Amino acid sequence: MNRTVVLGQLARDLVLMTGELPEPGTSADVSRRIETLGGKGANQAVAVARLGAPVSLVAVAGDDVVGDQLLAQARADGVDVTAVRRRRGALTGLIVEILEPDGRWRYLQHLPSEVLLTPADVAAAGAVFDGAGAVLLQLQQPAETVRAAARLAAANRALIVLDGAAEEPGELLALADVVRADEHEAKLLLGGDVTVDRARKLLDRKPRLVAFGVPDGNLFVWDGGDLLLPHGDGPVVDSTGAGDAFTAALTVALLDGAGPQDAARRAVKASGKAVGRPGGRP
């Protein structure tokens, strides 16, 4: 299988599980603490690797010890990190998740501009795009950076997967093959509630498959068909990372030659497995 390139965030994930949130000026005990490689880009790259596909990550780490540790973990996970930029003088990104027993979560994150990708970073990573079968682009990165990566992916005739919503998606939609968004992001893209008709209009812009979160599951629309798949019926410990597992599995399935319905079911299955454990690590 051809290699997948994932462009997105790399960060240290710190998950704190607690039975109650403290009132201001008080404290509470943490029942479990997890520290690991995280960030949407790294999570998706690890998920692709765990699905047995070769993968390269394009991201930014600081030049600190934390960056050293996270890159070592990514390599151990089977992720190629030769295109990860080390930003001099920057601290590697940090995401703190506070997780309650009922699955509710809160994030505190330190992701300053220094650890976001720039068009220059994309240009420097150009070699990893050569021969790539798929390029997965997260729209939480600066718009000009994502556009630069999309153009490079298109020049290499890779399958282009957009993850999220952009303020001005015009050029990106004209380049993308697949668009994935959660319910909130999908409403921004569509200008209203997610419906089959609205989603199908995006296909006129170029994408051949859209996958949008809806209240009762995930809606998939492609030329000639649509499919609504409910969420899995297993226990939900933590929904963090479910979308990353979903997007990675969808990308790998399509790259493997699966049709829309098969790829959709594989994506939902991966997402269902992800919610059964704490943290965003797939």
Tokens standing for residue 94: 């940090």
Per-residue confidence band for 147, with pLDDT thresholds at 50, 70 and 90? very high
- To the question of pTM greater than 0.85 for the whole model, the response is yes
Q: What is the DSSP string of 17-33?
A: E-SSPPPTT-----SEE
CA dihedral of residues 19, 230, 137, 262 (deg, nearest 10): 140
Whole-number pLDDT of residue 187 = 94
Whole-number pLDDT of residue 51 = 96
**264: nearest Cα among 222, 234, 233:** 222
Beta strands in 59-191 (DSSP E): 60-62, 85-87, 93-99, 105-110, 134-138, 159-163, 178-181
Mean of pLDDT values over 230-236: 81
Specify the CATH class of 4-9+39-91+113-274 in words.
alpha beta
Whole-number pLDDT of residue 174 = 93
Mean of pLDDT values over 106-118: 95
- Name the percent of the chain lying above pLDDT 70: 100
Tokens standing for residue 213: 């979160």
Mean pLDDT estimate for the chain: 94
Whole-number pLDDT of residue 233 = 73
Catalytically annotated residues: 244
Per-residue pLDDT reduced to its tens digit, 6-62? 999 999 999 999 998 889 999 999 999 999 999 999 999 999 999 999 999 999 999
- Residue-range domain boundaries for the chain: 4-9+39-91+113-274
Per-residue pLDDT reduced to its tens digit, 83-94? 999 999 999 999
CA gyration radius, the chain: 18
Whole-number pLDDT of residue 203 = 92
Whole-number pLDDT of residue 231 = 86
